[in-house]
Amino acid sequence: MGKVESKVENKTEKTVEKKVADKKPVKSRRPSRARRSSNELKVIPLGGLGQIGLNMMLFEYGDDIIIVDCGLMFPEDYMLGIDLVIPDFTYLRKRADKIRGVVITHGHEDHTGALPFFLREFNVPVYGTKLTLGLIKEKLKEFKLLKKTKLITVKSTTKTTLGCFEVEYIPVAHSIADGVGLAIKTPVGTIIHSGDFKLDQTPVDGVLTDMHKFGDFGSKGVLALMADSTNVEKAGYSLSEKEIGRAFDDIFRDAKGRIIIAAFSSNIHRVQQVLDATHKHKRKLILNGRSMVNNFRIANELGYINVPKGVIAELSDLPKLSKYKVVLLTTGSQGEPMSALTRISLNDHKQIKIEKNDVVVLSSKFIPGNEKSIANVINSLYRRGADVIYEKVSEVHVSGHASQEELKILMNATKPKYFVPIHGEYRHLVRHSKLAQKVGIPKERTFLIENGDVICFNKKSARVKGNVEVGKVFIDGKGVGDVCNMVIRDRKHLSEDGIMIALLLINKRTAELSYGPEILASGVMLERQNEKMIEEAKELVKQMFNGLPTEAKRDIAEVKTEVSRCLRRLLNRKLLRRPMIFPIVVEV
């Protein structure tokens, strides 16, 4: 599998135990470095630090490894043509026999999305709560992995033994139901992994973050706290999810036409609030978008959604319903090119067309990097006559992540000896580290690390000791890792400067031109308006070829080099452009 942005694994120091000259027992001898390292817990992030998404953390002690989360991230702007990004599993491939299982904190894609690719290589059990595994099952069905994978449902009362590790599950409030934090008991102490969480005092499903359980572990002694940093830049407390219900109530009351709401399909709490508002205002709810329909079905089957009788309608019913009776819940809140909302905004959706007085609500955060796409969708919706409501103009989204005061409360409750900020861009990790110092965790006990860094814990100390190979693996269609940075650079070059192709057929016997040169320019200039320059390029290539020695004419690689050089000079002189030049030279 190809790797991108890789760190090179530090070679562990070779140790050689001194041979004892005689066989007399030794009363006191300092343990060898090899023996000392075997008593150390290694904590290694393979993704999720210094970035949003790609969350994957492993814990290694002796012959046992457990993995927490296995997420993906969506491509950044420079990743042209890439569909998804997953972590690099290189470190684990050499240690596959040590992996005891994967523990998933909750069902969001940035924590579960890489599982199908991981499980293709590693046949290990996956542990998660009921809803989390319900969402994972749907994904594994698509990849035909469900029958091969052992899925084990856990609860807050469950204790899971995985090799030398024991994992307990702590309920947390988040923007998806059934999320958990983890208490990982290791031979050197207890590690608390917060998962994604917030301290919502009025959660939609009534499930609070169990601070009593966090505090109980704190009173017994916590070696290290690893806590979500996503919302650390926000002071105070994150608003309750129920605040969205009040905002929806106002929107539904004032709407004079259809209401179209775009949200993340995994945000079951948000879906519930849309259902409640729809029922209260005597409308019908229509679900649109494959992931929205699937996740709704899974949550309903597992009992995580309360669906009032008669509130759901089908998309085929849309023409029959009064516009005062319709609520459409759809995907596409991030302006994804092929999403339902984007197609609606472009008037390209077969069944849903924007009408006057339609109200469109984007009930989600603008994820960094998606701002331009979302703005384009909003502009298109306005042009078609809709009234658009989004985060910057109304309280139609609240974060599922803890703000500063909530993060402080977790630190004070768990009283960790060491602190490791996780889940966030580098600036988030830095600010979270400083926040920890404000509540009394010394700077020297706060580890500001990035993907691949290895923290080694023992019962007396902790330190960062080298790093392992990590990176981003690109998924493009059915290809996994076959697109690397060089391919991305070529795509960028093509997208910015275009391509010029020069075709030459050379007589194998005489080493003279049999055909060409033929010049094609795509993305460089409009050929019909630049025929004179195309002819000039042909003539220059022809003159260059005729001037080559016979031996050089028979060397196809040499001919290609000279054609590229000739055309590059011409384009630079005439246009100040540097397209990709692709010479095709064939002997006939």
The residues carrying an active-site annotation are 228, 401
**What beta strand segments (E) does 187-332 contain?**
189-193, 222-228, 259-262, 284-288, 312-313, 326-330
Peptide bond connecting 517 to the previous residue in cis, omega within 30 degrees of 0: yes
Is residue 236 exposed (0-12), middle (13-18) or buried (19+ Cβ within 10 Å)?
exposed
Beta bridge partners of 188: none
CA distance 421 to 226: 6
CA distance 160 to 183: 11
Residue type at 163?
A: G
Q: Give me the sign of the Cα torsion angle 394, 397, 401, 402.
A: positive
* DSSP notation for 89-130: -HHHHTTGGGEEEEE-S---HHHHTTHHHHHHH----EEE-H
Cβ density class 170-197: b for 16+ within 10 Å, e for less: bbbbbbbbbbbbbbbbbebbbbbbbbbb
Q: How many H-runs (helices) and E-runs (strands) does the chain carry?
A: 17, 26
Helix (H) or strand (E) holding 553: helix 550-553
Q: Give me the sign of the Cα torsion angle 480, 486, 488, 494.
A: negative
Cβ density class 389-415: b for 16+ within 10 Å, e for less: bbbeeeebbbbbbbbbebbebbbebbb
CA distance 443 to 132: 36
Q: How far is CA 106 from the centre of its chain?
A: 14
Q: How many other C-beta atoms are found inside a 10 Å radius of the C-beta of residue 153? A: 13
